[in-house]
Structure formats: structure tokens, C-alpha cells
Amino acid sequence: MRMGWVIATVIAACLIAPAPSGAAPPPGPCAGQSAKHGRAAANLERRARILKARGRPTAARALRRRARWEARLARYYEEQARARGLPRGAAVTLSTLLRSQVLRRSFLTGFEQLTPENEMKMERLQPARGVFRFAEADRMVRFARRYCKRVRGHALVYGRQLPHWATDGSLTAGQLGFEMEWHVQRVVERYAGRVADWDVVNEAIDADGDYTQNVWYLALGKAYIERAFRTAHDADPTARLYYNDSGIELPDHPHTLAVRKMVADLRRRGVPIEGVGIQNHVSTSHHASEAQMARTIRGFTDLGVKVAITEMDVRLDTPGTPARKLDSQRLVYRSAARACRKNPSCTSFSTWGVGDGVSWLGPAAAGLLFDRGYRRKPAYRAVSRSLGSPETP
Ligand code: 9MR
């Protein structure tokens, strides 16, 4: 069992090894992808026929399976390029990407954008002061580019998942400000042109509308937010820079109003913030209706910024039969996807994970678009249709 896992991991590591130079650069329509995978399928089929003729049916069957997968990818890219739906995104971790072929395949034919779930957070990228570890994030970015997926960078400045050196009280406010800017600059420069969107500041405001008392705020006051955006913009002027938060899906909630006020103020002062990420971690009993979500999105886009749904999941917390719960979940997802699609300034729609088996909420919450066995749930179809994206079988 353990040996099998090791072999699978090694094979997977090869699959997400550096892309050969010249691989199609995302974002974009990725027109060449379909032809590339179509050719791969045809080659594998030809080799399978030769093997069969030489009396090696088992090896031939293995090649046929790979050929079928390549053909499926080819179909996916073709349909996706034709439909030009709004990008569907998902957060994934490198370890699941390496471990699980079914996760990789569900992601590759189900989504157009990838958010590294934890690999770009400060504790991972700079575990010791001045010592950057980019290997994990690099692999994810290479994987995404190889398959022509956009990357949403998450999250440059956050009050959680920080390295010990930043929170142990050993640095002065001046040093913390310098370190924050240095971190943002190094990371954004490294991925310039490869990470299209960044969550620059994450969860800086609490549910009651006050600034979150994180290490950055306590040292620098709210000015840290502006400094983070300006630094990120200098490092890659082409990246779209977002403020990302949870609990801001209802239009009149004090939290949403506070974020709107902050964004309006930043925009007024020329701070290069281009978008707001609405995380949308909700449940079947607590969520925004389509009209409410439309109003929330408009509340932000009226300020001149884009919006993205960045981390959606819908916990099942209402009673009923399994089928009924899944249907309630479908409706909640559909409302958010429709509201996003209808506003031209809503740029993408992401969930916080792919399948229910690997979710920060745990499997029982069943909040994602694929079930534990990576079968598509009713919500997947609803989201895809609402965003104008095909569902490649
Ligand atoms: O999904 C992430 C989980 O693996 C981490 O343990 C957790 C630590 O805070 O962060 C989770 O991701 C969060 C994201 O970075 C920001 N919005 C809320 C997400 C869920 O907690």
C-alpha cells in the first residue's frame, strides 16, 4: 500500500515537472491546447495498436487508457475555447495534486483557474526571515501553465499563517513594515506575468466592521493596506490586485459596508486596488440570494473595481433527504454564479477545493462541487451553465 503510494507520488511528480519551454502561456484562449492533446491521443492510440499486434495486450490497454484521457482533454479545451465562459476556479493543495490522479483530472477538465490553497502564504514562502522557499508554489504555477490555467495568487498580506519570526514580537514596527514590503515585492516580482490576479490583502476587516487586529495593523495601523497594494503594483504593474474577504456577501452587512468604505477610500487616493474578492463561504441555511449577491457585487463594481467570487463552498446544514440537500446546495451555487455572470465586472468564480473529501471544512460539510469520489454534484452543472461553461463528460 505504502509502496503503491510512493510510486503514485513519483509518477505524479513527473507529471507536474517543469513544462518544456514553449508551453502555451496562460491566460488566453489556449487554442493550441486542444490540438496538442488531440495529437497526443492519436500517437498513444497508434502505439497501442503496435503493442497489441506484437502480442502485448496489457501494455496496449494501458496506452489506450492514456489515449482516452488525452482525447478527453482535447475535447475539454476545444469546448472551453468555443464557449468562452467565465473562468471557473478551485483552490488546491500541492500535496493533493501530487497524490490524487482523480483530483488532477477533475480539476483539469472542470476548472480554468487554480488558487494555491496554502502554498503562497507567508509562512510557506518565507519560513525564516529573509529565506524564501518558492519550490512548492513554483511547481503549482508550472502545473497551471502547462495546462493553460490561470493562477490566482493567495495571499500576500494576511494576519494568519504567518511565520513565527513575524509574530514573536522581536521586530519593531519599522522593521515589520520593511519586511512586509520586501515580501510582497519578492513574491510578486517572481511570478510577474504568470500570476494574473493577486489577493494582496486578505481579511483585514472583522465581522463588526472594524479593522482586524493582526500583526500588521497593530504595528502599522491601516496604512499597511495601502503600502501592500502600492508595493505589489510596483512589482508587477500588469497584475490585477484584489482585496479579499469572507462574510461580505450580504449587501447591507456592517462588514460589507466597511469593506466598501475602505475600498472607496483607497480608490479615491489613487491606491492601485483593482478588485474585491468575495470569498462566499456559506451554507444552505445562511447565504445571499441572487438579488442580494447582485447588489453586493454592484456595490463594489460601482466603485470602479472588479469583483471575483474567490472561495465559495456551501455547507449542507439544512434537514432533508440527501437529494434535497444537494438541490438546496445547487440553488445557492447557482444564485452566486448567475449574479456574477450578469455583472460584466465579475471576473471569475472559484470554490475552495474541488471535492468534498479534501476541504478545510472536513468531508461531512460536503460543501464543494464534486463529492468524495470526485463525481460531479448537481451544483457543478448549475455553476457551469450559469457561467456559460461546457461540462466535458
Ligand atoms: O483552506 C485553508 C486551510 O487549509 C488552512 O488550514 C487555513 C488556515 O487559516 O486557511 C484555509 O484557507 C483560508 C483562506 O486562506 C482565506 N479564507 C478562508 C479560508 C478557509 O479558512
SS (H, E, C) 51-109: HHHCCCHHHHHHHHHHHHHHHHHHHHHHHHHHHCCCCEEEEECHHHHHHCHHHHHHHHC
Closest CA to 23 of 145, 192, 191: 145
Q: Region 169-180: what's the mean pLDDT?
A: 98
Query: 152 is written with which cell numbers?
Result: 490566482
* Minimal-distance CA residue to ligand 1 atom 12: 117
CATH code for the domain of 283: 3.20.20.80
- Residue ranges making up the domain that contains 43: 2-72
Of 72, 106, 131, the one marking the end of a domain is: 72
Residue 360 sits in the same domain as residue 239: yes
* 57 and 182 fall within a common domain: no
312-351 pLDDT tens trace? 999 999 999 999 999 999 999 999 999 999 999 999 999 9
Tens-digit pLDDT profile for residues 205-226: 999 999 999 999 999 999 999 9
Q: Write the CA distances from 94 to 132, 138, 141, 372, integer angstroms.
A: 17, 10, 10, 18
Q: Does 90 lie in the same domain as 68?
A: no
Selected residue with higher pLDDT from 7 and 59? 59
The number of CA neighbours under 13 Å toward the Cβ of 360 is 14
**58 shares a domain with 199:** no
In terms of domains, do 44 and 189 share one? Answer: no
**167 and 224 co-located in one domain:** yes
Name the residue with cell 472561495: 311
Ligand 1: which of 96, 118, 154 to mutate, judged by most atoms within 8 Å of the beta carbon?
A: 118
Residue ID of nearest Cα to ligand 1 atom 11: 360
Whose Cα sits closest to atom 13 in ligand 1? Answer: 117
- Residues 286, 254: contact at Cβ < 8 Å? no
Q: 248 with 345, same domain?
A: yes
Grid cell at residue 213: 487586529
45-74, pLDDT tens digit by residue? 999 999 999 999 999 999 999 999 999 999
Span from the CA of 311 to the centroid of ligand 1 (angstroms): 9
Q: In this structure, is residue 68 part of a structural domain?
A: yes
User: 107 in a domain, yes or no?
Assistant: yes
Identify whether residues 288 and 171 lie together within a single domain. Answer: yes
Does the Cβ of 96 fall within 6 Å of ligand 1? no
Percent of the chain with pLDDT over 90: 91
Q: Is 239 inside a domain boundary?
A: yes
Q: How many domains does the chain have?
A: 2
Report which residue type is found at 280. N
Round the average pLDDT of the chain to a whole number and report it: 93
Ligand 1 contact via 161 beta carbon (within 6 Å): yes
Dump pLDDT digits (tens) for 372-393. Answer: 999 999 999 999 999 999 998 7
Closest to 85 in 3D by CA, of 374, 351, 360, 347: 347
| For the chain, the helix, strand and coil percentages under 3-state DSSP, each to the nearest 5 | 50, 15, 35
For ligand 1, the distance from its centroid to the CA atom of residue 152, given in whole angstroms, is: 15
Decide: 188 and 134 in contact? Cβ < 8 Å.
Answer: no
Tell me if 343 sits within 8 A of 297, measured CB to CB. yes
Nearest CA to 157 out of 257, 231, 82, 60 is that of: 231
The reply to whether 143 falls in a domain is yes
Whether 134 maps to a domain, the answer reads: yes
CA of 50 to the centre of ligand 1 (A): 49
Given 40, 72, 104, which residue is the final one in a domain? 72
Q: Which atom of ligand 1 is nearest to the CA of 93?
A: 4
- For residues 47 and 89, membership in a common domain is answered with no
Q: Are residues 106 and 39 in the same domain?
A: no
The answer to whether position 211 is within a domain reads yes
Chosen domain end from 72, 100, 132: 72
- Residue 209 has a pLDDT of 98
95 lines ligand 1 (CB under 6 A): no
Same domain, 65 and 90: no
Read off the pTM.
0.92
Q: Is residue 77 part of a domain?
A: no
**By C-alpha distance, which of 381, 370, 387 is closest to 102?**
370
205 plus 334 within the same structural domain: yes
Q: Is residue 281 assigned to a domain?
A: yes
The CA-atom distances, in angstroms, between 12 and each of 19, 46, 64, 217, 261 are 14, 24, 19, 41, 46
pLDDT in the model for residue 392:
85
Residue 270 CA to ligand 1 center (angstroms) comes to 30
